[in-house]
Structure 1
Amino acid sequence: MNYSKKIVEVIIEESVPVAIVSVGRPDIYTDTLKAAGIKVLHAISTPRHGQKAEAAGVDAVICEGFEAGGHKGFTELTTLTLTPMVADAVDVPVIAGGGIGDARGVLAVMALGAEGVYMGTRFMVTRESDSHSRVKQAIAEIKDVRTVSVPKDYMLARDLINGFTKEYLNMRQAGASNSDLKAFLNGHSQYHSQHLGLADEAEICCGQVAGLINEVKSAGEVINEIAEIINEKFEALHQRLSVFL
């Protein structure tokens, strides 16, 4: 039994209310999940993918811009461009992800047509997160441009720049075989960073928004801060736009 099928069986058994599906066709598990009463959100990277997901019956689509962390498609559409494209192309709710880490990002994607936000890296660096403390600290300490796209067989991953990314990209440039690359990835996976704390020697998937994260907070503090600041940011934006009104 393949791994993803087993996961689907477990979440159905546990009555998980919402499933986020990515890296594959939207019609593989959607019917099975929805028959179990589970809402299905499918991650996409182009408007065409969004339309296919909608046709497959998903409840919402997640726009993953190129700046997002983790695994994504080979397209280079950023959240700023992808979100309005998808909002114009589908009728199901659109959720935006990639480059969102504070109230400013939330306000921006709402203006682009999103009805919700998908934040990964910001919540990875919270006290409740299962990520290893060394991983959280590594992200909180970085500044400026500290992520890179890492090509794999069938997708790209956006990772924190560290010893792992440098060695892996050097191996690819030197013409390492697929078997050697896979072996390296398996031996330096996110398990080794997120759970064992090898923050420099192993892969850490995170988005460009990592450069905005300066400290490890609680998830509640992140949400409350966004809720408190968003009205302030909206009012400031309204005043700036008043010359056009």
Structure 2
Amino acid sequence: MARKPIMAGNWKMNIDHVEATGLVEKLHYTLVDREWDPAKSEAVLCVPFTDLRTVRTLIDGDRLHFGLGAQDVSAHDNGAYTGEISTAMLSKLGVGYVIVGHSERREYHGETDEIVNAKATKALSAGLTPIICVGEGLDVRKAGQHVEHTLAQVRGALAGLTAEQVASLVIAYEPIWAIGTGEVATAADAQEVCGAIRKEVAALYDEPTAEAVRIQYGGSVKSGNVAEIMGQPDIDGALVGGASLKPEEFAAIVCFYQL
């Protein structure tokens, strides 16, 4: 089964809604200059909540071939949850993707596998595609427990989901020690874990589900290493942090097949 590569830019807590206009437009024109073929790769912009309306308006008004993603979502529908954003609010803004379980949410906000599962479940029920983040810290990697640690997160995140739901979502493997550090797992390191994730999905569900689910790699992805990473059989895209704030660099990543 051919899986369409998906490149998602995670802006994190950067770029206000005014700056977003210039960044998105420059990215668009850079991709036009590179003769990007949207049939060969999908580009998703995961922007701060305050930027969503602006970026959605740009995408719709200029008919841009970008998917729109949020960086988090509540596990609750509504109510007394100050500061939370619901799936209904995101859907109303035309959001199609949402990152759940990013390592920074796990570390700074104490999100457990159970919370990640609840958010992913809620997103799917609202027609949003969750990008479920999993990955290990440096201590786990050094102990040689990175595969089992990551697979345990996968099992927790997918608990109770149907095969059809799992086939439609995205799993992003991010070794925490390689996020924003300039360090990057080798292509073989990334393939080891991404391949193990696909085998785990097959064991939990079936081969067709495992063949359908898209698995990204994230962790200091750049234009200089994306082609080698994307050359691995079980890697279907990248979750890109800092490089997604640079239009030329992110455009090169989206057009990895030209490198």
What is the TM-score with the length of structure 2 in the denominator?
Answer: 0.44
Which has the bigger relative contact order, CA under 8 A and spacing at least 6? Answer: 2
TM-score between both structures, scaled by the size of structure 1: 0.46
Larger Rg: 1
